[in-house]
Chains A and B, each alone.
Chain A
Amino acid sequence: MSMHVGLRGRAWFKALAGTDTAEAGDPNSVLATNAPLGKQTALFLCVVPNPKSRFPCVRDGQVGLEEAYALATHIRKAIAEDSDKPKHEKRPIIAVVDVKSQAYGRREETAGIFFAAAAAADAYASARMAGHPVISLVAGQAFSGGFLTHGYQANRILAFDDAGIVIHAMHKEAAAIITRRSVAELEKLGHEIAPMSYDVRDYAKLGLLFKLLHAEDPQNPTAAEITEVKQALAEAIDDARAGKTDLSSHLESDAAKKTRKAGIAARNALEAQWQTA
């Protein structure tokens, strides 16, 4: 399943931003460029596999130390450059997401990958709180710490609706080992328990998606599909600009009200008790 990691991300980055080479000073695994999106200019970001990375445990498209800090650098630069602009002119930031996971390496742990990931999440969230519409386009995989580092702080998340899309906390094999189940049992449970599912249509039931998109072959986008996706991104940007700069939208959809009933109840109970404490 890891065969295609990064290919869709690269294809969509190129389709939307017009280039797929890394900027000088960045690792080859990080694509970042400012490019037009409709009438606006957006900052596009993507993490792709770099088989020659000097960090061995990121070579298959994982998000590691260099990737996290490079993303944070680009986002903080955009925040600084737009700091004097009114909110409605702050540039959109588009995270094209196709990441296998965070890097599982000793070098990374030693040098504090938890903190690198935190710095990237901080940059994305700070951009959002400053008024930049932050939009994630899940074009392939979005796993665990990889997604937390790159994309999960977005105000709006879009994803394609095909079997190649996987948004999850951990890949099937590892999750099966840790929860002491077989992969077959895990897959069966996923059909009954939406948050455990590896199917993006079940993920949509959690109420976290702004929109599901469709492309016949997401690895080879057609001109019509590119136009459609750009249109959807523009809608998401408008919606983000009109909404709050926090993640409260996560709980506002009908799907969230149904699936996240228990969390919403806990939140309401805590709020009621807080006042009198």
Chain B
Amino acid sequence: MSQTSIIQDFINRKSFIELDGRARAQSLFDEGTWKELTGPFDRIESPWLPMQGITPQSDDGCIVIKGKIGGSPAVAIAFEGAFQGGSVGEVSGAKMTAALDLATKDSEAGKPTAAILLLETGGVRLQEANLGLAAVAEVISSILALRQHAPVITIVAGTVGCFGGMSLAAGVSSYTIMTREARLGLNGPEVIEQESGIDEFDASDRALIWAIHGGAQRVGMGLADALVEDDANKIAAAVRGYVLAGLPAMHRSQQVDLYRDRIAALDTSKQIDPATLRQQWGTGGGR
């Protein structure tokens, strides 16, 4: 590829990360096939935020869109990172669980319906604490139910990343797509620094953060499946590919022995070097 064509590609590229949650979800569907459900005009809001002097949002930061991808029925559920950090509340969690359950119902009735989760989230919304945590448990359960019939595809594109309870949702997905800008982990760097000290994790060390949580690392070590450029067309193509592929032979989160053995083989006397781990796990691993 010549330098001019690289520059042209860059100029023509339609960034996915620059889209909000709604536009991201819309961009995945076949043209003219999608419809948003329980959208902002339905005004289904968090009852708990106004009680705490926080302005709610009319979609509670969760966008549900039903339509077709590559001709197949699909539903996309996006958490909007710009609203309350993409946090999971009672209503946003209920929307996601309900959409997954309806996809399962359709799948069981002979109409396999894939789900695409667009996760930009810090995890449980602490203003709704225990209802958020319960919602995460319910989301995980509903993903596992749908996953028996149709693929569940998670996209973590950035820049919020996917942390907290919802990282388990990514963990039980059939496929996970990430960009280099995206991050995926249970605990964010700030939380680790706060809980275990700056010697454990320096949350200002961006190189360290991306070396551990970044998309290239997660895909490289086999805990995510595709590293895609920040390009809406390429991400949509990757999603179509997985919808078409259907279910994997075995889901990654069922492969307990493989990963238990890998953990047993770790030297924990010092911090683990992410690049070495990627080499060790990246080959011959996963499914």
User: Chain B contacts of A179 at CB under 8 A?
Assistant: 126-127
In the complex, the answer to whether A270 meets B95 with C-beta atoms within 8 Å is yes
CA distance A258 to B133 in the complex (A): 18
Q: A104-B195, A175-B129, A195-B90 are in contact. Are A277 and B66 (CB under 8 A)?
A: yes
CA distance A167 to B131 in the complex (A): 11
Judged by a CB distance under 8 angstroms, whether B140 is at the interface is: yes
Judged by a CB distance under 8 angstroms, whether A123 is at the interface is: yes
In the complex, the answer to whether B196 meets A69 with C-beta atoms within 8 Å is no
Judged by a CB distance under 8 angstroms, whether A266 is at the interface is: yes
Judged by a CB distance under 8 angstroms, whether A168 is at the interface is: yes
Judged by a CB distance under 8 angstroms, whether A243 is at the interface is: no
In the complex, the answer to whether B165 meets A193 with C-beta atoms within 8 Å is no
In the complex, the answer to whether A264 meets B94 with C-beta atoms within 8 Å is yes
CA distance A105 to B266 in the complex (A): 15
Nearest chain-B residue to A123 (Cβ)?
A: B256
Give the size of the chain B interface in residues (CB under 8 angstroms): 86
Judged by a CB distance under 8 angstroms, whether A192 is at the interface is: yes
In the complex, the answer to whether A174 meets B37 with C-beta atoms within 8 Å is no
Name B134's contact: one of A72, A109, A114, A208 (CB within 8 Å).
Answer: A208
Judged by a CB distance under 8 angstroms, whether B200 is at the interface is: yes
CA distance A72 to B168 in the complex (A): 14
Nearest chain-A residue to B266 (Cβ)?
A: A111
Question: CB-CB contacts of B168-186 with A at 8 A, as 1s and 0s?
Answer: 1111100000000000111
CA distance A195 to B52 in the complex (A): 13
Judged by a CB distance under 8 angstroms, whether A50 is at the interface is: no
In the complex, the answer to whether B268 meets A266 with C-beta atoms within 8 Å is no
Judged by a CB distance under 8 angstroms, whether B257 is at the interface is: yes
In the complex, the answer to whether B131 meets A260 with C-beta atoms within 8 Å is yes
In the complex, the answer to whether B130 meets A168 with C-beta atoms within 8 Å is yes
List A234-277 residues whose CB lies under 8 Å from chain B. Answer: 246-247, 250, 259-267, 269-271, 273-274, 277
Name A148's contact: one of B99, B165, B192 (CB within 8 Å).
Answer: B165
CA distance A147 to B148 in the complex (A): 24
Judged by a CB distance under 8 angstroms, whether B271 is at the interface is: yes
Judged by a CB distance under 8 angstroms, whether B263 is at the interface is: yes
User: Chain B contacts of A117 at CB under 8 A?
Assistant: 167-168, 171, 186
Judged by a CB distance under 8 angstroms, whether B91 is at the interface is: yes
Judged by a CB distance under 8 angstroms, whether B191 is at the interface is: yes
In the complex, the answer to whether A193 meets B44 with C-beta atoms within 8 Å is no
List A58-95 residues whose CB lies under 8 Å from chain B. Answer: 65-66, 69-70, 72-73, 76
In the complex, the answer to whether A148 meets B137 with C-beta atoms within 8 Å is yes
Judged by a CB distance under 8 angstroms, whether B78 is at the interface is: no
Judged by a CB distance under 8 angstroms, whether B248 is at the interface is: no
In the complex, the answer to whether B186 meets A109 with C-beta atoms within 8 Å is yes
Judged by a CB distance under 8 angstroms, whether A225 is at the interface is: no
Name B129's contact: one of A152, A195, A247, A262 (CB within 8 Å).
Answer: A195
User: Chain A contacts of B192 at CB under 8 A?
Assistant: 104-106, 109
List B130-170 residues whose CB lies under 8 Å from chain A. Answer: 130-138, 140-142, 144-145, 164-165, 167-170
Distance in Å: Cβ of A104 to nearest Cβ of chain B: 4
In the complex, the answer to whether B94 meets A263 with C-beta atoms within 8 Å is yes
Name B38's contact: one of A102, A105, A269 (CB within 8 Å).
Answer: A269
Give the size of the chain A interface in residues (CB under 8 angstroms): 79
List A28-75 residues whose CB lies under 8 Å from chain B. Answer: 54-57, 65-66, 69-70, 72-73
CA distance A108 to B264 in the complex (A): 13
Distance in Å: Cβ of B87 to nearest Cβ of chain A: 10
Judged by a CB distance under 8 angstroms, whether B82 is at the interface is: no
Judged by a CB distance under 8 angstroms, whether A118 is at the interface is: yes
Judged by a CB distance under 8 angstroms, whether B242 is at the interface is: no
Nearest chain-B residue to A70 (Cβ)?
A: B260
Distance in Å: Cβ of B113 to nearest Cβ of chain A: 10
In the complex, the answer to whether A145 meets B271 with C-beta atoms within 8 Å is no
User: Chain B contacts of A108 at CB under 8 A?
Assistant: 186-187
User: Chain A contacts of B69 at CB under 8 A?
Assistant: none
In the complex, the answer to whether A102 meets B187 with C-beta atoms within 8 Å is yes
CA distance A247 to B145 in the complex (A): 11
User: Chain B contacts of A162 at CB under 8 A?
Assistant: none
Q: A111-B277, A246-B145, A270-B99 are in contact. Are A167 and B130 (CB under 8 A)?
A: yes
Given contacts A109-B186, A247-B141, 4 further A-B contacts (CB under 8 A): A116-B259, A144-B133, A196-B129, A250-B138
* Residue ranges of A at the interface with B (Cβ–Cβ < 8 Å): 54-57, 65-66, 69-70, 72-73, 76, 102, 104-119, 121-123, 125-126, 128-129, 144-145, 147-149, 152-153, 167-170, 174-175, 177-179, 189, 192-197, 203, 206, 208, 246-247, 250, 259-267, 269-271, 273-274, 277
Could you list 15 A-B pairs, sorted by A, with CB under 8 Å? A54-B268, A54-B269, A70-B260, A118-B171, A122-B253, A125-B140, A145-B168, A168-B130, A168-B133, A169-B124, A246-B141, A246-B145, A262-B90, A265-B44, A274-B102
